[in-house]
Amino acid sequence: MLHLDRLLIRQGDFTLRADGTADAGERIAVIGPSGGGKSTLLMAIAGFLAPAEGRILWQGRDLGPLGPGERPVSLLFQDQNLFPHLTLRENLGLGISPGLRLSAGDRARIEEALERVGLAGLGEAKPGRLSGGQQGRAALARALLRARPILLLDEPFAALGPALKAEMLALVSEIAAETGATVLMVTHDPEDARRFAHRTILVADGRAGAPQPTAALFADPPPALRAYLGP
């Protein structure tokens, strides 16, 4: 279980309070107005921002003392964080070993992951040669290899068209089910939240509340969500 325990996170003048728990293996959407603090919340869980108060616990363990690389967390941004000068194989290899010291077994796992996301045969390609959808797949393959128990997605597919985005969300769901990962996904699209997550965290007015059932939240939105969704 991921437990946000009375968190207070500061970014300059901005403060965000967060409370709530996510079960192991659960998929949760994170939604709310621009500037509300969604990325801030993910950055704190990933260890790039130290909370001013409170704790972040995973399976009862306080993640506070752990740096970003030591946390049980993978973080995916919209730009997919692929290094343009490295091949896909090398980009994936970085998910296993930051110095690219890879065993034969590691190399085999990389090929399996490429195959799993439909990129078999593209191991030697540089990211610039790939379409947006293929870059998304490559980033997911790297997350799959890292196999961390918590996967944080910050609007990873916002630049993709609706059909491709739906396909990528389905792939994330499959990979999360295979690895048993707890997934928190920031999105601006209520449809993504409905499709992807049984529960949703609303981030607004300086608060990230506890996850609520997605269908019920959108059926009867609180004022902050109503204002965000518009008429």
Ligand X SMILES: Nc1ncnc2c1ncn2[C@@H]1O[C@H](COP(=O)(O)OP(=O)(O)OP(=O)(O)O)[C@@H](O)[C@H]1O
- Interface residues with ligand X (CB under 6 A)? 11-12, 14, 32, 34-40, 203
Rounded to the nearest whole angstrom, what is the least distance from the CB of residue 56 to ligand X in the complex? Answer: 16
DSSP calls for 61-116 = EE-TTS-GGGSSEEEE-TTTT--TTS-HHHHHHHHH-TT----HHHHHHHHHHHHH
**Residue number with CB closer to ligand X (167 or 189):** 189
The residue among 58 and 228 lying less far from ligand X, judged by its C-beta, is 228
**Distance (Å, whole) CA 84 – CA 178:** 29
Q: Is residue 65 packed enough to be buried (19+ CB in 10 Å), middle (13-18) or exposed (0-12)? A: exposed
Question: Is the Cβ–Cβ distance between 184 and 42 less than 8 Å?
Answer: yes
Q: How far, in Å, CA of 38 to CA of 187, rounded?
A: 9
**Nearer CB in complex with ligand X: 110/204:** 204
Please, what is the minimum distance in Å from the beta carbon of residue 154 to ligand X?
7
CB of 161 to ligand X, least distance (A): 20
Closer of 174 and 205 to ligand X (Cβ): 205
Which amino acid, residue 208?
A: A
- Which C-beta is closer to ligand X: that of 15 or that of 87? 15
Q: What is the 3-state secondary structure (H, E, C) of 196-212?
A: HCCEEEEEECCEECCCE
State the residue number with the nearest CB to ligand X.
12
CB 222 → ligand X: shortest distance, Å?
A: 17
Question: How far, in Å, CA of 169 to CA of 35, rounded?
Answer: 24
Kindly state the smallest distance separating residue 226's Cβ from ligand X, in Å. Answer: 17
CB 222 within 8 A of CB 31: no
Tokens standing for residue 86:
């490295």
For the CB of residue 108, give the shortest distance to ligand X in the complex, in Å. 38
By beta-carbon proximity to ligand X, the closer residue of 48 and 111 is 48
